Amino acid sequence: MNFKWWPIRRFVQLGIVTLIASPLFGLTIFHGNLSAGELFGINLSDPFAFLQATAASKVFIASFLASAVLVTGIYFMLGGRTFCSWVCPVYLLTEWADRLRSRFGTGGRTFSLSGVRWSFSATIIICVLTGVPLFEILSPIGITTRAVMFKAWQPLLLILSLVTIEISIARRVWCRSLCPVGGFYSFLGRISPLRVAFAHHLCTQCGECTKVCPVEEVLEPPLTTHKPQVTSGDCTRCGDCIDICPTQALGVDIWYK
Amino acid sequence: MELSRRDFLKASAAAAAFAAAGAPLLGSNNADAAEAGIKWGKAPCRFCGTGCGVLVGVKDGKIVATKGDPAAPVNRGLNCIKGYFLSKILYGKDRLTKPLIRKGNKMVEASWDEAMTLIASKFKEAIEKHGPDSVAMYGSGQWTVFEGYAASKLFKGGIGTNNIEPNARLCMASAVTGFMTTFASDEPMGVYDDLDLGDTYFLWGANMAECHPVLFSRIIDNRLKNPAVKIIDFGTRRTRTSQMADQYIKFTPQTDLALLNAIAYVIVKEKLYDEQFIKKHVVFKKGKTNIGNGLEDKFKFTDDPKPMTFDEYKEFLSTYTPEYVEKLSGVPAAKIIELARLYADKKRKVNSLWTMGFNQHTRGTWVNNLVYNVHLLTGKICRPGENPLSLTGQPSACGTAREVGTFTHRLPADMVVTNPDHRAMAAKIWGIDPKKIPEKPTYNAVEMFRALDRGDIKVVWTQVTNPFQSLPNLNRFRKGARKGDGRFVIVSDMYPTKSTEVADVILPSASWVEKEGVFGNAERRTQQWFKMVEAPGEARSDLAQTIELAKRLGHGNLFPYKYIEKEMWEEYRQFTGGGKDLAPYEAYVKSRGLRWPVVNGKETLYRYAEGYDPYVKAGEGIKFYKNKKDDGRAVIWARPYEAAAEAPDKTYPFWLCTGRVLEHWHTGTMTGRVPELKRAYPSAVCEMHPDDAKKLGIKNLQKVKISSRRGTITLPVDLNGRGKAEKGNIFVAFFDETKLINELCIDAYCPISGEPDYKKCAVKVEKA
Amino acid sequence: MIQKSSHTGITRRRFLKNGVLIPLALAVAGGSISTLFLRRADARGFYLRPPGAVEERRFLASCIKCGKCAQACPYKSIKMAGGEAGIGIGTPHIVAREVPCYLCPDIPCAKACPSGALDKKLEDIEKITMGTAVIVDRESCLSLRGLRCEVCYRQCPLIDKAITLEPRHNQRTGVHSIMEPVIHRDKCVGCGICENACVRDQPVIVVMKSPPVQKDYYEF
């Protein structure tokens, strides 16, 4: 009854930041950041970073692929954009920014969720054409994690401007419509077996879930067409809708229905 | 002739103007507005024994620049990188400016009066309770002549103890006893001009490329001009010198004794010696053998020289066949023969040069004797471009420690306390009762600190040196100093050091051109400078400190001078006739140094040589006139090979050698405060042979733990650095106060010279 | 509650606006940023890359800025570039004057690289080329003025290979030799230890981009 997902999720989010910062304290369990890291000696790479670097350099590194495939497999099992809501520190920042925004009652504009996939495709094309891993240059994720790793604060200005835009103009615009990493994981999310379950007989159509959902469009099909699961790849599996639902109409499914 | 200080200042201004006239070569052609108003004065460099001349630029009471003195004959405007940064050595951030007195674990600021009252009371208390031999002064080859003279006069002539030693005991003592036993007079016959005039240079245990950099560039230039010039480097470590030498001869540590005897063997066997020279100028002697290594406290040794004939000497040499010595030293017999023939080649002008590899040696005196043997056998001595030359490490190891005689057994100018005539002469000049000067020498440097550890010495005052970093077997002496029970350590220095750490009172000292002084370099050149800037805060010269103590102990009458430096010089000069003659003070004010003996205003290039040395009469050719005992002849000594005090074994399988690097000087007190030098060479490393490292699984730059029977330190290993250790050897520089390699060194010393062996002890190396 | 639920689907106009125009605008913006403002890092000067770095253009393509190389460096020699590096932002480089590369024999930085920007297979640290040391200010070099400095030479980890001393006669003093440090491009790895150690305020020896090897058939 009282079980909530959000404290666990917050713990994981902060845990990831701590892990990235851990080498500063002399710990050796984790090295690197979310582009590529090494946990207990196991190499992990962001599949999107792999795609960019390979597309840009036209050089194939087998071990790089292996580490990217491993991560792809993990997120496939966990629901794709689970990366966004449970791991990504930028998501954490924009989550907090969104709270401020709703307190101020400012800028509620939203843009299409498909932006992330356009952004993904465009990035790969630019990588191939220019030989520059475009997103890795601008990536707020890279900037944030390097700030934590090397105390490089100055590039955080970019994050600040992003947060300002989200507060004043467009709600969650980065994660919803711009981030190509989210775009990549949305493909995985569409086919992942881990999904939000929807029990129609319990739903009162109160709409609380759509208020807390950062990508509320994903709830539309189950709410309107009686689908038993949230099937959209854009769902970040954050669990906020499950936590908020007064009738426990929402839950977790670990297989397709 | 009366010269007032004002006259001197005028003369100094003239000297500076003269210097400035010669200066455009280096600096003033790019003079700009910032350079205006700089006043230049001459001084010898504060670092090594080379004695380079520099011009010191002063503006608004501060040294703003230094540059090599183009008029200085030694360096002609050049410097090494340490000399380049002389202007910064006085201005480290942590310069000591106030006396400090220990209160528990804290050093608390005090006034000079408080500090000196305390020091005087400790001296009086110790002398009253335990006699004058319970107080001691430990000085240095960086003392100015005046500071050394005043300390010697106070301790030997005032307090009445021979407890005075310089740190030169750790670096020059074997050279001194070598000179004394062979020629009966300290310091070389040759001069630096030999570096330009010779054509064959044998370097023994000397890394001249790094430790005498300006002199080394002279030998190299000589070779550039004359392709016949050969440089042969004997060593146990491949150095920058080996790199530039024509031949590098590596030998097993300690076997230099055998090698030199083998060279003599070949010279004798092949009759390559100069028979006429030997007949006229040489006697043969032997001394005691199996003489020990000074490892026991209160070690005593007196040699018993016995004359021998040339045939007996040949008999002695017969052991040292090249084949036998090949087995000992690892140098091929054919190579030994080749080098012996090169030494004896009549067409060649042969020079031998050496430093700490010879001197810091448990048979340091012997090995010095042995190199003279080769020169005396071949007659290649006392001639332009053909001499043995002992190089020195401190700016006034010669001028102060050796010439003023600040050793326990010495009085000024080759005189010793054991000789009643010498004591009488000293007492006369000092105006004291001859009975005041004790006839028995007390402790050499190592024994002095052993006595402090035991508690036989209660009060020790160190000036211008850092014994608690530089002594061997350091752990014992650092602990000994803090054992309490009436022990009281006074340290005068310009910066906090490893020695001020163990002090009960720290006195802030003026340094270099913050006071007037005279240094004497390795080629007998005496160089004078004036005070140019004020010392910071309340810092005072060591001379003023010593005289202050004298006054408080009731010996103020020993220092009755008005213009201290000049009057003290003229008093000191009375000791120096008969071949060690020094000129009146003003001669040094005007010149860029003069090489003694200076007779009638003329310096001497080659001692004992007719036409150069005024004490050698016409027709005598060469005369070792100081050795009156042997009728003006030099001594060839039969000195055998004897093993090192400690050699590698199963548990401690490596030889440890220590030494210097070009960027730092001695314990790094000054060079460590020059950011540029610190950055250029930040910390000590352990040089090791790559094969040894491989066996131990050690990679380059990896940290290793080095241990001897006496201590352990941890530092990174350097497999391809500037120095390449031979297999079974490691090398660590001793400048780094965070890595006290001297804790590992053995306090074995040469029984004759008392100089410890920093070049050989057994250690093990492990991954840290 | 959900406004969109009142529509039966996405209109053509909406599709055009959200599905095409916005992404297009993004792509144009991104492209212009990358071509106009974010020039290649070395267009803004030479960046000394960690050991094993592949050719700069490919390096910039491959590096995913994870920082593992910097974390692996035991001397903290490797720094991550800031915005001043243009598209090189977040890429690892070495500021030799601050901390040079000490050439660890096990090359932990290259081993840490996941993406091929640093060559993992690198085995001999002495065979790399990060750059080449050049004496850029001969007039200020103390050794060339005859002083016995040569700190760059003695501190060179490839002493007598990458830098040698070439003595020549000092005309001015007549009795000393000038010991000139001479850098050998084929042996110099560009670690920057010389640049770091130089005693002048502005280092007179500096690591620069290695000039391309120009081949011919002379064997000397």
From the CA of A71, how many Å to the nearest CA of chain C?
14
Q: Are A196 and A242 in contact (CB under 8 A)?
A: yes
Residue A155: per-residue pLDDT: 82
Residue B411: per-residue pLDDT: 95
Residue B10: per-residue pLDDT: 54
CB–CB contact C167 B217 (8 Å): yes
**Average pLDDT in chain A:** 91
Give the model confidence (pLDDT) of B339-363 as tens digits: 999 999 999 999 999 999 999 999 9
Q: What mean pLDDT is predicted for residues B307-316? A: 97
Q: Report, in angstroms and rounded to the nearest whole number, the Rg of chain B calculated over CA atoms.
A: 25
Identify the CA nearest to B184 among candidates B718, B624, B705: B624
Q: Which residues of B touch C197 (CB under 8 A)?
A: 679-681
The amino acid at residue A155 is P
Whether C123 and chain B come into contact, CB under 8 Å, resolves to no
Marked catalytic residue, from B77, B287, B385, B393: B393
**Cβ contact C–A (≥3 pairs, < 8 Å):** yes
Whether C64 and chain A come into contact, CB under 8 Å, resolves to yes
Residue B28: per-residue pLDDT: 40
Q: Are B148 and B394 in contact (CB under 8 A)?
A: no
- B82 is known as an active-site residue: yes
- Which residue in chain C has the smallest CA separation from B724? C159
Higher pLDDT, A104 or B374: B374
Identify the CA nearest to C115 among candidates C177, C52, C174: C52
- B394 is known as an active-site residue: yes
Give the model confidence (pLDDT) of B434-453 as tens digits: 999 999 999 999 999 999 99
How far from C159 is each of B206, C125, C126, C220, CA to CA, in Å? 20, 14, 12, 21
From the CA of B111, how many Å to the nearest CA of chain C?
39
Place of tokens 């969720």: A113
Segments making up each domain of chain B, as ranges: 5-88, 100-163+407-560, 173-391+633-638, 654-767
> Where does the pLDDT of residue B17 fall: very low under 50, low under 70, confident under 90, or very high at 90 and above?
very low
> Where does the pLDDT of residue B250 fall: very low under 50, low under 70, confident under 90, or very high at 90 and above?
very high
Residue C6: per-residue pLDDT: 42
Marked catalytic residue, from B171, B415, B657, B750: B171
Distance CA B581, CA B598 (A): 5
- B171 is known as an active-site residue: yes
Q: Which residues of C touch B244 (CB under 8 A)?
A: 165, 167
Record the tokens describing residue B646, joined without a space.
Answer: 């400690």
- Which of C65, C87, C121 to mutate to test binding with chain A, by most A CBs within 10 Å of its CB? C65
Q: Are B652 and B731 in contact (CB under 8 A)?
A: no
Q: Which residues of A touch C71 (CB under 8 A)?
A: 23, 31-32, 149
From the CA of B722, how many Å to the nearest CA of chain C?
5
Give the model confidence (pLDDT) of C177-194 as tens digits: 999 999 999 999 999 999
Range with the poorest average pLDDT among A66-75, B465-474, C36-45: C36-45
CB–CB contact C61 A133 (8 Å): yes
CB–CB contact A220 C70 (8 Å): no
Domains B5-88 and B100-163+407-560 share a fold: no
Helix (H) or strand (E) holding B713: strand B712-718
Q: What are phi and psi of B43, to 5 degrees?
A: -160, 155
Residue C13: per-residue pLDDT: 67
Whether C108 and chain A come into contact, CB under 8 Å, resolves to no
Instruction: State what percent of residues in chain A have pLDDT above 90.
Output: 72
CB atoms within 10 A of CB B30: 9
Helix pair A47-57, A62-78: axis angle to 10 deg: 150
Instruction: State what percent of residues in chain B have pLDDT above 90.
Output: 95
Neighbouring chains of A at 3+ CB pairs under 8 Å are C
* CATH architecture of the domain formed by B5-88: 2-Layer Sandwich (3.30)
Q: What mean pLDDT is predicted for residues B529-556? A: 97
User: 3-state class of B68 per DSSP?
Assistant: strand
Whether C182 and chain B come into contact, CB under 8 Å, resolves to no
Has residue A18 got a pLDDT over 50?
Answer: yes
> Where does the pLDDT of residue B18 fall: very low under 50, low under 70, confident under 90, or very high at 90 and above?
very low
Q: Are B152 and B405 in contact (CB under 8 A)?
A: yes
Q: Which residues of C touch A114 (CB under 8 A)?
A: 18-19, 23
Has residue B591 got a pLDDT over 50?
Answer: yes
- B107 is known as an active-site residue: no
Record the tokens describing residue A36, joined without a space.
Answer: 């590529």
User: 3-state class of B537 per DSSP?
Assistant: coil
Helix (H) or strand (E) holding B54: strand B53-59
**Cα-to-chain-centroid distance, residue C103:** 14
* CATH architecture of the domain formed by B654-767: Beta Barrel (2.40)
Q: Report, in angstroms and rounded to the nearest whole number, the Rg of chain C calculated over CA atoms.
A: 25
Record the tokens describing residue A49, joined without a space.
Answer: 């970073």
Determine the number of helices (DSSP H) and then strands (DSSP E) in chain A. 14, 5
CB–CB contact C22 A111 (8 Å): yes
CB atoms within 10 A of CB C6: 6
Q: Are B712 and B742 in contact (CB under 8 A)?
A: no
Range with the poorest average pLDDT among A193-207, B593-607, B705-719: A193-207
Identify the CA nearest to A242 among candidates A205, A215, A213: A213
- Could you say which of A43, A146, A223 has the minimum Cβ distance to residue C114? A43
Residue B23: per-residue pLDDT: 37
Distance CA B260, CA B367 (A): 8
CB–CB contact C148 B662 (8 Å): yes
Residue C25: per-residue pLDDT: 61
Which are the contacts of A27, defined by CB distance < 8 A and separation ≥ 6? Answer: none
**Cβ contact C–B (≥3 pairs, < 8 Å):** yes
Instruction: State what percent of residues in chain C have pLDDT above 90.
Output: 66
Whether C74 and chain A come into contact, CB under 8 Å, resolves to no
Neighbouring chains of B at 3+ CB pairs under 8 Å are C
**Average pLDDT in chain B:** 94
Range with the poorest average pLDDT among A53-57, B106-110, B323-327: A53-57
CB–CB contact B721 C159 (8 Å): yes
Q: Are B671 and B735 in contact (CB under 8 A)?
A: yes
Record the tokens describing residue B207, joined without a space.
Answer: 């890394």
In the stretch 10-49 of chain C, residues with CB closer than 8 A to chain B read: none
Distance CA B479, CA B361 (A): 25
Residue B20: per-residue pLDDT: 45
- Which residue in chain C has the smallest CA separation from A36? C66
Record the tokens describing residue B127, joined without a space.
Answer: 């002398």
Range with the poorest average pLDDT among A110-119, B77-86, B620-629, C94-103: A110-119
Domains (range + CATH), chain A: 6-189 (no CATH), 193-253 (3.30.70.20)
CB–CB contact B78 C159 (8 Å): no
Give the model confidence (pLDDT) of B638-665 as tens digits: 999 999 999 999 999 999 999 999 999 9
Marked catalytic residue, from B356, B568, B670, B686: B356
Whether C155 and chain B come into contact, CB under 8 Å, resolves to yes
Record the tokens describing residue C135, joined without a space.
Answer: 């004496």
From the CA of C102, how many Å to the nearest CA of chain A?
20
Residue C19: per-residue pLDDT: 57
Q: Any idea how long chain B is? A: 768
Place of tokens 């050093």: B107
> Where does the pLDDT of residue A152 fall: very low under 50, low under 70, confident under 90, or very high at 90 and above?
confident
- Could you say which of C26, C83, C87 has the minimum Cβ distance to residue A132? C87
- Which residue in chain C has the smallest CA separation from A205? C1
Has residue C216 got a pLDDT over 80?
Answer: yes
Give the model confidence (pLDDT) of B175-211 as tens digits: 999 999 999 999 999 999 999 999 999 999 999 999 9
* CATH architecture of the domain formed by B173-391+633-638: 3-Layer(aba) Sandwich (3.40)
CB–CB contact B81 C142 (8 Å): yes
User: 3-state class of A179 per DSSP?
Assistant: coil
**Average pLDDT in chain C:** 86
Residue B22: per-residue pLDDT: 38
- Could you say which of A56, A57, A119 has the minimum Cβ distance to residue C26? A119
Q: Is A88 exposed, middle or buried (0-12, 13-18, 19+ CB in 10 A)?
A: buried
CB–CB contact C80 A35 (8 Å): no
Q: Is the peptide bond before B597 cis (omega within 30 degrees of 0)?
A: yes
Residue B596: per-residue pLDDT: 94
Tell which CATH classification among 3.30.70.2190, 3.40.50.740, 3.40.50.300, 1.20.1240.10 matches the domain B100-163+407-560: 3.40.50.740
Record the tokens describing residue B7, joined without a space.
Answer: 């006259």
- Which residue in chain C has the smallest CA separation from B722? C154
Q: Are B441 and B449 in contact (CB under 8 A)?
A: no
Identify the CA nearest to C118 among candidates C126, C105, C128, C133: C128
CB atoms within 10 A of CB B28: 14
**Cβ contact A–B (≥3 pairs, < 8 Å):** no
Q: What mean pLDDT is predicted for residues B8-29? A: 44
- Could you say which of C18, C22, C68 has the minimum Cβ distance to residue A32? C68
Identify the CA nearest to B236 among candidates B204, B209, B201, B259: B204
User: What spatial distance separates the first Cα and last Cα of chain B, rounded to whole Å?
Assistant: 67
Has residue B21 got a pLDDT over 50?
Answer: no
CB–CB contact C155 B722 (8 Å): yes
- B601 is known as an active-site residue: no
Q: Which residues of C touch A57 (CB under 8 A)?
A: 58, 61-62, 116
- B393 is known as an active-site residue: yes
From the CA of A122, how many Å to the nearest CA of chain C?
6
Q: Which residues of B touch C149 (CB under 8 A)?
A: 80-81, 84
Determine the number of helices (DSSP H) and then strands (DSSP E) in chain C. 7, 6
Q: Are A117 and A182 in contact (CB under 8 A)?
A: no
CB–CB contact C114 A67 (8 Å): yes
Domains (range + CATH), chain C: 40-128 (3.30.70), 131-210 (3.30.70.3270)
From the CA of A17, how many Å to the nearest CA of chain C?
14
Whether B681 and chain C come into contact, CB under 8 Å, resolves to yes
